[in-house]
Each structure stands twice: as C-alpha cells, then as structure tokens.
Amino acid sequence: MLTKYDGFIFDLDGTIYVGDKLIPKADEVIYHLKKSNKKVIFITNKTTGSVKQYCEFLKKNNLNVIESEIINSTLVTKKYLEDKHPNEKFYAIGEEVFINEIEEIGLEFSKDPNEIKIVLITLDRTLDYSKLEIAAKALDNGARFYAANIDDTCPVEGGEIWDAGSTISALEKRTHFKLEKHFGKPSNYMMNEILNKLNIPREKCLLIGDRVETDIAMGNSFGIDTALVSTGVFKNFDGNEKYIPTYKINSIYDIIK
C-alpha cells in the first residue's frame, strides 16, 4: 500500500477512533505517512462537531493534522446551500453545532412548517416525535428534502446509535417523499471535495473506512481502491455485500506494519 498509493483518505469514526478513544497506533500511521511524503485527508459524515473541533480532538490525541485536511459532511452541505439556497429558511433534525454552522452562511432556522424551504437531516441525539412532525409538515408543504449524511447508525463505544438514515426512512414513510440529495459519503459532492483537496489521480488514492455502505461504496462508485477495517461497524464482513473492498485489514496500523 505504501508504494502503490500517494493519497490516503481516512474515515474518522470507527477508523481513526471509536467514541473518544484513538485506534491503537493511529498516530504512528499518520506520522509515518506524512514522513513518507504521502498526502492525507480525513473525512467523516458526523456533524456533531465542527472541522475545527475535530482537528483539536485529533491533535490532543497526538495526530499530526491541520484543519484543511479534514472534511465533514457539514462543510460539504454548507458549500452547496450557500451556492444554491442563499438566505433561505431551513429546518434541521440535527444538533446545535450543525444548526449553528448552517446559520453562519446566512440561512435562517425556522420551526414554522409554512415558511420552511429546506429540511436537513443528520445525526441528532435529541431526536423526538415533535421534531419529526415539524419536518414532515414542512415536506408536505413543499420543502426540499436534503441530508448531510445517510448513515443508518453511528458507532459508539459498546455499540451503535440511531443516525440520519433511520430518520430519513421514517420521514419517507410518513410523507411518501423521497430524499432528494445528500452531501456526505458516498455522494459525488463529498468525493469532489476530497479530490479537489488531494489533487492526486484517483488511481493513486486509497480510501480506508469501516462501513461498506458508505466508505467502500464511495470508493467502488468513483474508481478508488479501498481498505475495510474491522475496528468500527463492519466487524463481520463476509464478502457477500454489494460493495467489495480492495483490501480487508484489521486496523489502519496494517498499512505500515
């Protein structure tokens, strides 16, 4: 892997860390890659922290990173909304950090289904029935139906929790409207952001992650080799899934071991 690839695209949650704990020797891997003049990008569908917060967390865990090497789905969502929906009113099933970041680009948060123009879905650990109904009524009134990410679950220490994909499914059944766009893995919006930052031919890049339906799917869809790790969600990959990784490794440490 070290000789074949010049760009390494790392998923964060489940690949670099799980919960608040770094995957063993992840810091050594990043140090070794950068010392070898490899380009490194970190990507995540998680929206409960800003790019700056993710950078600070990684630095506290001794990873040699800078903010420009980190892409989360909030960043990609913001770029699309700022270009296509400036100053419109939105509603988000998401946490305060996510909502604040959308407001920073000039969109106005609203809970009134009659004036909401965009419904955004992402991870929300405070999700309740009232939030679902506001979103559903806004969609019934013609609001656009977007998502920052489509993960069904989010890995945490000891298991998984409900994520955006499960919320999207509930709203689709409630309203009979389908999600229009999403901006995280495995979307072309996320992929374009990654390739623009790396500026390396995709055949010289390796995408490393723990989810077949997002990480491996994105690599397969855009012609990028992938490595599936066993440190996050997909610990029992049996090879019968729709998307197949180029490599199956225990953890990212196998890249340099």
Residue 62 has pLDDT above 80, yes or no: yes
| CA dist list (Å): 78 to 47, 50, 115 | 12, 12, 20
Q: At what angle do helices 73-84 and 96-104 cross, to 10 degrees?
A: 40
Residue 212: how many other CB atoms lie within 10 Å: 19
b/e code 214-240 from CB counts within 10 Å (16+ = b): bbbbbbbebebbbbbbbbbbbeebeee
So what's the pLDDT on residue 257? 85
Please provide the size of the chain in residues.
257
Region 230-234 average pLDDT: 77
In sequence order, the 6+-apart residues with CB closer than 8 A to the CB of 17 are 23, 26, 61
So what's the pLDDT on residue 237? 58
Q: Are 255 and 7 in contact (CB under 8 A)?
A: no
* Residue 53, CA atoms < 13 Å, CB-side half-sphere: 13
Confidence of residue 161 (pLDDT cuts 50, 70, 90): confident
Region 52-69 average pLDDT: 95
Q: Are 26 and 253 in contact (CB under 8 A)?
A: yes
Region 169-180 average pLDDT: 97
Domains located in the chain, CATH noted: 7-45+185-255 (3.40.50.1000), 86-182 (3.40.50.1000)
So what's the pLDDT on residue 160? 75
The tens digit of pLDDT for each residue in 31-50 reads: 999 999 999 999 999 999 99
So what's the pLDDT on residue 232? 79
So what's the pLDDT on residue 162? 85
The tens digit of pLDDT for each residue in 95-127 reads: 999 999 999 999 999 999 999 999 999 999 999
Residue 212's nearest CA partner among 244, 184, 190 is 244
Residue 25's nearest CA partner among 35, 36, 37, 17 is 17
Confidence of residue 141 (pLDDT cuts 50, 70, 90): very high
So what's the pLDDT on residue 118? 98
Please give the mean pLDDT across all residues of the chain: 94
Confidence of residue 234 (pLDDT cuts 50, 70, 90): low
Residue 11's nearest CA partner among 28, 1, 23 is 23
Region 179-191 average pLDDT: 97
Residue 85 has pLDDT above 80, yes or no: yes
What pTM does this model have? 0.92
Residue 155 has pLDDT above 80, yes or no: no
The answer to whether the peptide bond before residue 186 is cis (omega within 30 degrees of 0) is yes
Q: Quick one: DSSP state of residue 13?
A: B
So what's the pLDDT on residue 240? 57
* Residue 144, CA atoms < 13 Å, CB-side half-sphere: 14
